[in-house]
Amino acid sequence: MAAMSDTFPLALTTACDWLRVKELEEQQRSLLRSVVCGFNQLLDLRDLNTGIHSTRLAEWAVRVARKLGLPETDLYQLEVAALLHDIGKIGIPDAILRKEGKLTDEERALMNKHPEYSWSILRLFPGFDKASLYALHHHESFDGRGYPGGLKAEEIPIGSRIVAVVDAYDAMISNRCYRKGLAHEEAARRLNAGMGTQFDPAVVCTFLETAEREVAEVFAVTGASPSAVI
Ligand SMILES: [Fe+2]
């Protein structure tokens, strides 16, 4: 009996500690979600993306990642990278970001720093190690001609290869004030043309299959209709 009364309070304490740890973990997750939303809002305010574009990007990225068999534990990291991969553009002067003509070599070199700036911001947050890495490499090319690392094929983190494809597609089909978005067929043709050079062929194939089957669903989930954008 004595042994039972000794162990019971201990078990209760352990259970309370466990609940407290779970509560703190949930608070940390909630705080990080708020940070991501805040950063996304900041990008909107600086006119560096649009809320709908980035939300749709995250939706496409997660769908493609699931089909490619990425572990569920990496999907939130990918979602964060899809939303915030360009956060480093905040460090690029407006005269370069908003320049209408061709960038000089010097301006281009500065512009190409934005993935490193994104990485340097995202890596500061606990648990964003993969998200920061995906952001760092989102302008690598499958053939090794991208930046900042000149990584090739599977050397490029899979999250970065996915962000590169979905970002390119969504940018192509989106209307901008200075041009109308491309039709899906033309955007698909350009992705196909970039397979093996700019883009990972497996990601392009999986993305295009997903886009053809799930476009209406993705636009419905993210609060827009394809006809409003395409
Ligand atoms: Fe970028």
Q: Which residues of 25-58 are buried (b: 16+ CB within 10 A; e: fewer)?
A: eeeeeeebeeebeebbeebeeeebbeebbbbbbb
**Percent above pLDDT 90 for the chain:** 57
Rounded distance from Cα 48 to ligand 1 centre (Å): 10
Read off the pLDDT of each residue in 49-74 and give the average, rounded to a whole number: 88
Q: Is the dihedral of CA 198, 87, 50, 107 positive or negative?
A: negative
Rounded distance from Cα 14 to ligand 1 centre (Å): 47
Neighbours of ion ligand 1 (CB under 5 A): 86
Read off the pLDDT of each residue in 155-164 and give the average, rounded to a whole number: 98
Rounded distance from Cα 114 to ligand 1 centre (Å): 7
Whether residue 41 is predicted with pLDDT greater than 50 in this model: the reply is yes
pLDDT at 230: 38
pLDDT tier at 80, thresholds 50, 70, 90: very high
pLDDT tier at 13, thresholds 50, 70, 90: confident
Whether residue 49 is predicted with pLDDT greater than 90 in this model: the reply is no
User: Which has more confidence, 40 or 229?
Assistant: 40
